[in-house]
Structure formats: C-alpha cells, structure tokens
Structure 1
C-alpha cells in the first residue's frame, strides 16, 4: 500500500478537515484505476458521505504524487458512473444518490490460464460430422459483424421482427429457390439458432401432450429430446439401405388414428448413416403425409456437401410444400459456433412460430443475421461453400484410402462410401462398439457408440466425422484406431 500525505476535504455544511486515504500499489492497473478504486472504496465505507466535497484536482494531484491529468480522468470517470457530481463554481462533491450496479460494481479476479495438461495430449473427437472451423471465413465475418453492430446501434429503435432480419430472410428465400429448387417467399422463412433451435421452436409452437412424432431409428437423438420436451411422444421407424421404411410408417399412422402429427426425417444424408431416401420412398412419404394429414419435418442439415452426381432436391421442392416444413442450417456451412439456421413453412406455421418466439426471447440475433446478409451479397459464403466442398471431398477420400490400407481396420469395419455428407457410418464386423469406445479413450480419441443413436439397446457401429480433421490428422486417427482394434 502507498499512503498519501494528508488530504483536507470539506464535509457537508462545514469547512475542510484532514482526510487520509491510500492508493493500492498495483502494477497491473493504471494510477487512474488505483485512484478511482480508492475513492469508491472510501465512499462505500462511509468515510466520504454524500455531499462531501473533494479538493481541487491540483491539490489532490500534489498530495498523492500523481499527474493532474490522472486525477482529472479519475474524477470524470466517477462522475460518469454516478459516484461524484460537479456543480458550476462549487467544485466536485460525492453524489447525493449513490449508484448500485450489478455489473459495474463487480470486480472479477484476473482470468486463470487454462489449457491441456502438459503430460497428456488433448482428446480428439470424431463423434459427429462437424465442419472444420479453421476453414470458415472468420476474418470476413468479424468485419461484417462489426459493421452490422454499428448499423444496428444507429438505426434500431426497438426489438426486431420475431421471425428474424427481413434482409436475411429475403436472401435465404432467393438462395433456396435458386440452389435447392424451392418456391418460397421471405414471409415463409423463419430464422433460428441453428437447426436444433428450429426443431425446439417448432416443437414448442406446434406440438403438445398427446401428439405423436415419428422419427428414424437409428437417428438424431437431440431432435427426439426437443419433441419430448414439448410434451409429444416419439415413435421410432427403422431405416434400411433406402432410408425410412415407409411401409412401417403407414402401419404406424393407421394405428395412431390421427394422433401422428409429424414425421421427422433427414432424407438427403440420413443421420447417422448418411444413406439417401430412395425416390420411391420420398414420393410415398409425401403421399402418406397427404393421406394422414401429418407434417414432414425435413432436416436438410448439410445439403451443400454432396460430392458425386446431382444432390437430391428437398422434399419441399418436389410438390410437398403444403405438408413439409423445411429445416436447414448455416452452422454446418460456417462453423458450429455460428448458431444460425432457418426453416421454411406455411403462413399458419410461421404465425405460431412468431408468437412463440415473441414470448420466449422476442427476436433472434439481429447483428449476426445482418452480417450474414453482407457475406451472401459479396459472395463470401458462396466462395467458402465451393472451397469447403472440395476440401471435405478430399478428406473423405483420404479417410477411405487409410481405412482400406490398414489391414486391421479393413478387417474390422464395413461401410459404404457416401456420395455426400461429413461422416462415414462404420459397422463393426467383430467386437463391440462399447469396447472400442473404451479402448479409444486410452488413445485420447472420443467415439460415440451406435447406441447413442437408439432409444435403447446396442448397435455395433459408430459415426466417424471426418470433415473437421486435415489429412495428416485423419492418418493419425486411423493409426490410433488400428491400435485399438488390434487389442
């Protein structure tokens, strides 16, 4: 602690008295911060009462041994915070009404340095088909975000549209119409926090207790949780090499007699197996939706990543728009941390979603949405999509080559190289997925067993997400897997 010389200060209604206080000798903060903290501390302790007058800046600077500019800046800061007040020709006094702020009055300790242990390598996860954030146009997004933040600060006068920024909805409407064959307008597009946000919001807005949702199995368990959170019950329909078993779906719909409200599918690259829904089953699904009056929730989470042939048009684009809610995500295109998705639905559904969003959180992320508009308009996202598609195809091919080259892996796994998507579905010819998971942890490798994609039971398979790993990283992962299966 560094103690000042005596400071004379005038109390309310009387002339100055002697007043001593100390500055913290803290080399990590400026002298201005030391002074502001010291004054606030004395005010909070009650030594400086409301209305008490401070000495002039020159006097205080001389007594504390600091530059007068430091004192002036500290006083201005405390006036801005409400601790002090200045009166013309009367000097500076402690404010009559002192501030209390849950944020401004909190002092947090300096952040602790964290990181992986020096003795152990970090875990490497291949549990899902995530994109590689290292490829994302982060610099462009950062600049666009800063410009959008300034724009919103200047122009926003209240909360935004619950459906999301109209500009991005317009851009996405044109995008899906041109690139995916839909025929929609801005008013039929609703922005969400990723595809999972779309599922959760739809469930809360459109489903309730007593409703039933059919879903693929193996399938995407987070979607099941969203439907169940809204009070609906999930019934599971098996898939095979051609996708959803529509013959079993028909039997289920007939048995439920009107209680089947929705069918959740991932028809382009089925999650987790990556198989595509066969054309005849696609048409049959739409016919069943018409016949039994249920909604098809089409989760098209990675449409951009199709490597061979022409990608299948969405169900929404093949005459099923009346009974299809189309869900897609920009998070898979950019990075998992960029939480932005959207859905395309009927006017009636959009109205319900608006009402639900307005109650839950009023609006989406307006600044991010406007930044994404800019990246679409200047072609950044389109260029990134082309580059990422080439990169991920090369990584898929590299992984296939490594799995084929290592005898232990070739003998242990069977799989079909998918035409698109960001993961392989590996089925074990021998051993159990749970044992492989345990062995992989010893190699600092995280694998999710096939049971993760089931409501119950075991499945001797796992999803190998390759997109987030460069070729040399994939080689090391395959080497680790080879050691695991050799045990």
Structure 2
C-alpha cells in the first residue's frame, strides 16, 4: 500500500479538492485490481503521513469512498476495500507490457462505420464566404425576436411555460403557421396537420424512419441534396437516381421505374431544385402527383427556400394540389431567418402527423417551446412577413450584383444561369480548373466556398458548385470575386 501511495499525485493548484483527488485515484486502483476486495487500507494517520497532507483530508477521502460503496469500515479493525466487489486481475502500474488503453479515444467494443455518414458537416469561419445559400443573419429581426423570447421566458405560469409541452410543438405556432401557410402556399390545413421539427432534415429523418423499410425503393435526382441521400441510405433503402435537366427531375424516368418496380418514396425540391435552383416545370408537377396517386408512393417535398423567388410570385408547392394525401410538405425558418434558429415544420394528413409525433417523442421529446412561441408572436404580428419582404428585395439586389461580377470578371472561367430564386448560383467551372485545389487555396485567403458536390455521381463531370450570395453584402461579394480572380490568374 505504501508503494501505491507513491503513485497518488496531488495537484495543489487544481480546482478539484485534494480529498477528491485522493479518493478518485484510490478508486482507480480498486477498479484496476491493484487493491482487491477485503484489502485493508492504512489508517488515516498513516496515509496522511505518506501523502504529506492533513489527516482530516484523508478522512474526507475515505468517507467519500465509503459513501460510494468502494470501501467498508469494520469496527475496531479499520477500513477495507468492500468485500462485495468482484475479483479484478490487476494491470501493471509501471513498465507493464500490456497495451495501454485510452477509452476517451477508442471504445472497447466494435461497431460498423457507415460510409454514407462520413460526410463532415460544413461551416465557415472565414471572413468571406460564398456558401451553400444561407440567409444573412444581420437582416433578421433579432431585437423583436429577443423581446418575444424574453417575454415567453418571464411571463405566465412558470410550471407551464418551462415544463413539458406537446410533442407536436407549440399549439400557438401551429395555429399561426397553419394560417400563414394557407395564405402563402395555398394549403388547406389546420394546426392538426403540422408537426414542428428542428428543421427539414429532422422531418425527413422521421419520415424515413416511419415509412421506409430496408429494401424499399427511394427515388432522387442524379443531382441531389446529400443530406437527403444520407437519410435514405441510413434507412436501408435502395436509392435509385433519375436524370435531371434544366426543368428539374425527369418525371418520365420515374414513370419507367414505377412500371417495373414498387417505389415507396420520392424526394423532390420542386420550387428551387437543389442544387441547380431551377423550378420543376408545371407539367412535371402534375405528372408527379398523378404518378403518386397511381402507384401509391410518398412524395417528400422539401421546400427549403420558398420565400425567395425573384421573377414573380412563387410557384405553389405540390402539397397545395395534392388531392390524394400523398405529399409530405416540409419547410423551416432556418433558411428564411438564420441557421441557428432550429424551427421547421412538416405538413401532412392528421393521421400521419400523429404517427410522426409518436416517433419524434423517443428521439426528441419536444422542441424549444419558448422559441416556437416567440416565432409565433412574430408571425402573428406580421414581423416575419415584413422581414421576408425586405430580405427578398435585398437578396434580389445581391443576386444581380453577384451575377454581374461573375460575368464581368470570371466569364473566361465559369458558366451559369441567373437563378430565378433561391440564395445561390449554380456555377460550372472550366474543366481545366480543379475545384478542390481552388477551394483550398481560397481558404488561405479567407474565402470559403464548397469544392463541388459530393452528393451525386455527376460532380466530377460537371465540375460545378453552388456559390451563395445572400449572406454577403455587395461590397463583400466584390471582395470574394476579387480573391477568386487573383487565384484563377495565379496570384
């Protein structure tokens, strides 16, 4: 025991009390088998002498281990390692041959790593950014939101406002949102048709988990959102890809698949197709709904940036014309206000919403009710609507500025179509340009943009990526293009 005591290291500068340092290290000795069950510990006086600490400190350490059940006190005999502990074969304390184990780094059990989950999340800390198409948080009604959130935090019955809520989400938000979506999206729903989520990805995950079985067929475009593909692969589906052209997914290719195989779900970003930002043409919308009714597959409609359409009024979503109850319609305030505000919504038939709410409960009991109510207040008072109108004008101006900059400065290197909506430009680079190398060089000059899309088989051929303009001012966009020009010209 005296030899073990020499291995106890006491750090007088640590924020952890000395008695806990002693107790924790003795506990490790017991766990590692270096102190076996029923082993007698030295007296508190003897241990204090070995460790050069006050006896009361050792008493506190012993008392801590007694309370936790690692030690036991025998009247008139002393303090012992608890006899009920199992026998543990000790590991060498010094110069042992056993391979060191670091459980903080590597688990002791095996598990399968899935390649479709290997895509790392992306966020930019660079001064300049041409991102995936994010909103400018500087435009968001933050002061109004802060006041509304504070009001929710401090007023009303604290047991209710700070307790558990409905798994479906804030009733107030669902009621206001139903009215808002009916007015702006042409839907005909009530609060019972809405499940509040953390965003569209959560809505898709719940839908995949609830309605897909391993081996089911899910259909997406050859170009598609990687997060959607990951969800389908995680659900164990057979992921089939259909061609994409300037009008979105080729629905006739989907019809060919349906005539041969049973399709369970089709994922579509019908308004501003991801990643190209083109709109799904009207005849294809009608045909897609017709096929869903005929063959019985679910349409998951991800309407991630409905509010930002620049030519005319936005096209109404597929859900507005769904007479057969085949569409799951999902949107969020993430792309409208800021990615930090994790509030989204999934719209479907009432029985579907109830089913999804049961599933949601086991992974996320409820969302941020305070934030949901604060957003409900802003929606009800028209603040979000005014913000969206202002943001639409601002983003249109930034789109025009950015496209002019690309045309006047980078026409020898890139090709693109001016997007009719959304917050990014789908940009094709000259085949001689290595987008991966270019993006890495850009990072060294405080500019972030994606190196090209990893979410489809066409990326190496297309040599294209999304360049987001909405989150940068005209002056910032000019700086971004200047950096790209210097890099492309070898500067």
Structure 1 length-normalised TM: 0.73
Structure 1 residue 196, shift from structure 2 partner: 1.3
Deviation string, structure 1 residues 192-236 (Cα, Å, up to 9, x no partner): 001111111211222221112111221100111122222223211
Contact 2:229 2:455 in 1 (8 A): no
1:136 counterpart residue number: 140
Which secondary structure does the structure 2 equivalent of 1:454 belong to? Answer: coil
* Residue number in structure 2 paired with 1:159: 164
Is 2:425 the counterpart of 1:461? no
Given candidates 474, 477, 480, the residue that maps to 1:474 is: 477
Say whether residues 1:314 and 2:317 are aligned partners: yes
Q: Give the drift of 1:457.
A: 5.4
Q: What SS is found at the alignment partner of 1:214?
A: strand
Q: Deviation at 1:45? A: 3.8
- Cα distance change on mapping 1:164 and 1:152 into 2, 3 Å: farther
1:340 to 330, 340, 343: 343
Determine helix, strand or coil for the equivalent of 1:360.
coil
C-alpha contact (below 8 Å) 1:128/1:465 kept by paired residues: yes
Tell me, yes or no, if structure 1 residue 197 matches structure 2 residue 202: yes
**Contact 1:272–1:453 (CA<8 Å) still a contact in 2?**
no
Aligned residues of 1:217 and 1:239 also touching (Cα < 8 A):
yes
Number of equivalent positions: 380
| Separation in 1, partners of 2:323, 2:273 | 19
- Distance in 2, Cα, partners of 1:386 & 1:157: 33
Q: Distance in 2 between matches of 1:206 and 1:319?
A: 19
- 1:288-367 aligned at under 5 Å gives the runs 288-320=291-323, 322-367=325-370
Residues 375 and 381, structure 1, Cα contact 8 Å, conserved in 2: yes
How far the C-alpha of 1:254 sits from its partner, in A, is 2.2
CA RMSD in angstroms, aligned pairs only: 2.8
* Paired position in structure 1 for 2:176: 171
Structure 1 pair 467–139 and aligned structure 2 pair: CA distance change class (3 A): same
TM superposition score normalised by structure 2 = 0.72
Contact 1:214 1:234 in 2 (8 A): yes
Q: Give CA deviations for 1:150-203 in whole Å, capped at 9, x if unaligned.
A: 346242485211111111111111001011111111101110001111111211
The corresponding residue for 1:413 is 414
Contact 1:133 1:468 (8 Å CA) reproduced: yes
Q: Which residue of 1 aligns with 2:211?
A: 206
Map 1:120-269 to 2 at 5 A. Answer: 122=126, 124-150=128-154, 151=156, 153-156=158-161, 159-256=164-261, 258=262, 260-269=263-272
> Partners of 2:146 and 2:392 in 1: how far apart?
22
Contact 2:129 2:480 (C-alpha < 8 Å) held by counterparts: no
Which residue pairs with 2:50 in the alignment? none
Write the deviation string for residues 289-342 of structure 1: whole angstroms up to 9, x where unpaired: 111100111111111101111211111112356111111111111101001110
Contact between 2:266 and 2:300, CA under 8 Å: does it hold in 1?
yes
Change beyond 3 A, Cα 1:405–1:233: same
For 1:452, what is the secondary structure of its paired residue?
A: coil
Give the Cα–Cα distance (whole angstroms) in 1 for the partners of residues 366 and 194 of structure 2: 14
Q: CA offsets, 1:375-408, max 9 Å, x none?
A: 11222211111111111111111101211222xx
Which of these residues, 433, 437, 445, is aligned with residue 439 of structure 2? 437
CA distance in 1, matches of 2:346, 2:323: 15
Q: Quote how far apart the aligned CAs of 1:442 are.
A: 3.7
1:413 and 1:429 in contact (8 A); partners too: yes
| Shift in Å, 1:350 | 1.0
